[in-house]
Amino acid sequence: PAIADIEKTFVERWNDSSRTRNWPFEAIDPDQPEITEPIGTYAPTGMHSVQVLRTYGLGKYSYSWADPSEKGEFSIWASTLNAIKKAESYIYIEDQTFFTLGWPARCDDIFNPSRQVVDVVYQLGKALERGIKVGILVSNKTTRGFYLNVYEKYQRDYSLRYLQNIANQTNPDNFFVGYLHNDNEVIYIHSKMFIADDEFALIGSANIDQRSMTHDSELKLGVVDSANQFAKGLRIRLFKEHLENPSTTEVDLNNYDEAFDYMKSAIQNNQYRLRTYDFYSSEEWKGHAKFMNLIYSPYGGPLNLR
């Protein structure tokens, strides 16, 4: 059961704190006893199939099983890429950051195809090229200070422009990007949500960026169910909230094509809680590569994909 895998993750981290291993003087309580016995017993139940996905980056500040001599774990990254490649009708994303991995941007690094093909934004572009609808809601502001704000905004804008350009060349109707507003202020999106084809959902702590996919410790769940109700129900509830509970005469949210078009129209017309995403200057900020790669979104993944 998934709960057993979540317990396993907790025990692994409890017993091998990176702070006690590398910086014992910073540990809150380095003498805390290890957990050596199972915390609970669990039996399979319900109709959902749930995979527990994780990120454990490489490096001296990581965990003992994820140091450079080991392989780390990047199953969130792998599952996201796999879901994009297998999508047959649509992909819907809500994300706090939404960055192409690193800088220079992996999504258009044509001289290093092995790096390019493992970029989430690049694979979303390939999905658009094969006719998959892609809808994205992201933050239009940041809670951080000015300098972090401009670097973060530029990285996000670059990633979204990349997809918008592909959509414009293939089918503009198959792509939307927007943000949320409650008529008084911008709603800061903190969710990390990925839904595909009303069949598969990814929910958890990892953003679409280099830090979450390769560096920080993250946990995410991949969920399907035998009746194909969970992902669809989640998507409908989110759309209802953002569209302020429309009547069935306005839009049939059960029909994704109709719902997608209605969401896109609402974003373009700044209706309900949906707003058109604001692209800022396309000029790269001085020091952007250093800031993104060393501070804001460092890389901690497999060395052959650095």
The reply to whether 142 and 178 lie within a common domain is yes
Tokens describing residue 141: 């502001």
Closest by CA position to 153, among listed 179, 130, 185: 179
- Number of domains forming the structure of the chain: 2
The pTM for the full model equals 0.93
What pLDDT does residue 116 have? 97
Name the β-bridge partners of 49: 224
Q: Residue 148 domain-assigned?
A: yes
What pLDDT does residue 3 have? 92
Q: Residue 226 domain-assigned?
A: yes
Q: Residue 306 domain-assigned?
A: no
The reply to whether 171 and 182 lie within a common domain is yes
Dist. CA 193–CA 176, nearest whole Å: 16
Q: Is residue 266 scored above 80 in pLDDT?
A: yes
Residue 160 belongs to domain with CATH number: 3.30.870.10
Domain range for 92: 48-298
The reply to whether 37 and 185 lie within a common domain is no
Tens of pLDDT along 109-149?
999 999 999 999 999 999 999 999 999 999 987 555 554 58
Beta strands in 62-152 (DSSP E): 73-74, 90-95, 133-138
* Residue with more model confidence, 225 or 93: 93
Tens of pLDDT along 16-33?
765 555 555 555 566 678
The reply to whether 2 and 52 lie within a common domain is no
The reply to whether 38 and 168 lie within a common domain is no
Q: Residue 209 domain-assigned?
A: yes
The reply to whether 123 and 272 lie within a common domain is yes
Q: What is the mean pLDDT of residues 149-154?
A: 88
The reply to whether 32 and 59 lie within a common domain is no
The reply to whether 12 and 27 lie within a common domain is yes
Buried b (16+ CB within 10 A) or exposed e, 68-105: eeeebbbbbbebbbebbeebeebbbbbbbbbbbbbbbb
Q: Residue 40 domain-assigned?
A: yes
Give the angle subtended at the CA of 125 by the CAs of 121 and 127, to the nearest 5°.
Answer: 115
Q: What is the mean pLDDT of residues 240-248?
A: 94
Closest by CA position to 288, among listed 149, 133, 90: 149
Q: Residue 304 domain-assigned?
A: no
Q: Residue 184 domain-assigned?
A: yes
Q: Residue 139 domain-assigned?
A: yes
The reply to whether 33 and 167 lie within a common domain is no
